[in-house]
Structure 1
Amino acid sequence: MPSPSHTTEFISLLTSHQTALRGFIISLLPGCPDVCDVLQETNIVLWEKKNSYTLGSDFKAWAFTIARNKVMKYWDKQKKQQKTTLSAELMSAIHEAKLQQAPTQLEHQLTALQSCLQSLKPDEQQLISARYSSHNDLKSLSHTWNRPTGSLRVTLCRIREKLRTCIELRLKGGLA
């Protein structure tokens, strides 16, 4: 059974790669209305196999391989229904090209956000986490933090502005 930190890290990796996974599946199923279904099936397999993933290894390559296998199963099913399909060789070529592709703007922004969150003071990190990770509203936070709602609203606004500035600087400086 994986540790809670393994599960937390896995969830973070899974969610941060959703855009890339969707783009990859779209590239293998151009114009296909079933992309969302294949992505969902891929996510299910990724979650079921989370214990076999080694933290620190290339999550993107691992996830793309599973997505590719799901697409191949989708194409096999379509073949049986006599619909046009891409060859396995072409899908392999697309798979390799996508793995070599530079990170997207969104991936750069997410990396910058993660770095900027780490640069916050510990109490700022806790407040951001309490507000957004736990989906607490300001009223419940005001009780927990023993601060007026208006005060928390101003503090969160200042922290968000600090994060926005940090992200912009990292993206302009190529630090993301």
Structure 2
Amino acid sequence: MNTKAPSHRDQVNALFVLHSPRIRGFILSLIPNMSRADDVMQETFLTVSAKADDYEEGTNFVAWACTIARFKVLEECNRNQKASLMLSPDVIDAVCVAHAPLSAEDDEARLKALKDCMDSLAPHTRRAVELRYTRAHSAAEIASLLGWSTDSVYVVLSRARQALQKCINAHLNAVS
């Protein structure tokens, strides 16, 4: 039995998974193209993971991650200035000023709920989630490692995120 406490990076990654629907919603509010929003979401996760040591425990994680996401959205805008359906950087800044993420709730309870919910996933699903969010593998890499199609990886990860969110909410509602 592994009783080693999770590292700060692991905790930050777990917070990202926990709050990914809110972060993704924020990104989608700025980039209404699902494919490009997914790319920005992945870039945001990689940056959050790389900057995990910069996150101060006890502060508003969603606000911190959405700030990183905002800069990733602006980078995407600069790369695709002529693309349609992109907001201008000024509009993005205005939306970000108006958007105030809700304050973080009891992160310790959420992390415990996430761990319990991860343990309840089917082994193949848990493996795909760990490869994506702990090891930062791309969908194509996961597909290659697991012998799946890339589309299957996207479907499994999407369903896993939904199941985790539902499970975490149920755990938190049972506690309150």
| Superposition TM-score tier, normalisation by shorter sequence | 0.5 to 0.7
- Per the alignment, residue 156 of structure 1 pairs with none
> 1:114-139 CA deviation, whole Å, 9 max, x = no partner?
4996xxxxxxx9xx589438959xxx
Cα distance in 2, alignment partners of residues 45 and 164 from structure 1: 26
- Per the alignment, residue 92 of structure 2 pairs with 91
Cα distance in 1, alignment partners of residues 122 and 88 from structure 2: 45
SS in 1 for 2:32: coil
Equivalent residue for 1:16, pick from 18, 21, 41: 18
Equivalent residue for 2:52, pick from 47, 50, 53: 50
Alignment check: 8 A CA contact 1:116 1:167 kept: no
Moved over 3 A (4+): 100-103, 113-117, 128-136, 163-170
User: Structure 2 vs 1, CA of residues 57 and 87 (structure 1 numbering), >3 Å: closer, same or farther?
Assistant: same
Query: What is the Cα-based RMSD across aligned positions, in Å?
Result: 3.9
For residue 20 of structure 1, report the CA deviation from its aligned partner: 0.7
**What is the percent sequence identity of the aligned residues?**
27
For residue 89 of structure 1, report the CA deviation from its aligned partner: 2.4
User: Structure 2 vs 1, CA of residues 90 and 11 (structure 1 numbering), >3 Å: closer, same or farther?
Assistant: same
Letter of the aligned partner of 1:54 in structure 2?
E
Cα distance in 2, alignment partners of residues 71 and 169 from structure 1: 36
Q: Which consecutive residues of structure 2, in runs of 5 or more, have no partner in the other structure? A: 125-167
For residue 101 of structure 1, report the CA deviation from its aligned partner: 5.9
User: Structure 2 vs 1, CA of residues 166 and 34 (structure 1 numbering), >3 Å: closer, same or farther?
Assistant: closer
Q: How many residues align?
A: 126
Structure with higher RCO (Cα < 8 A, 6+ apart): 2
Cα distance in 2, alignment partners of residues 12 and 19 from structure 1: 13
SS in 2 for 1:83: coil
Deviates more, 1:47-56 or 1:3-12: 3-12
For residue 96 of structure 1, report the CA deviation from its aligned partner: 2.8
- Per the alignment, residue 120 of structure 2 pairs with 132
User: Structure 2 vs 1, CA of residues 64 and 100 (structure 1 numbering), >3 Å: closer, same or farther?
Assistant: closer
TM-score by length of 2: 0.55
- Per the alignment, residue 68 of structure 1 pairs with 70
For residue 50 of structure 1, report the CA deviation from its aligned partner: 0.5
TM-score by length of 1: 0.55
Cα distance in 2, alignment partners of residues 115 and 51 from structure 1: 18
Which one has the largest radius of gyration? 1
For residue 39 of structure 1, report the CA deviation from its aligned partner: 0.5
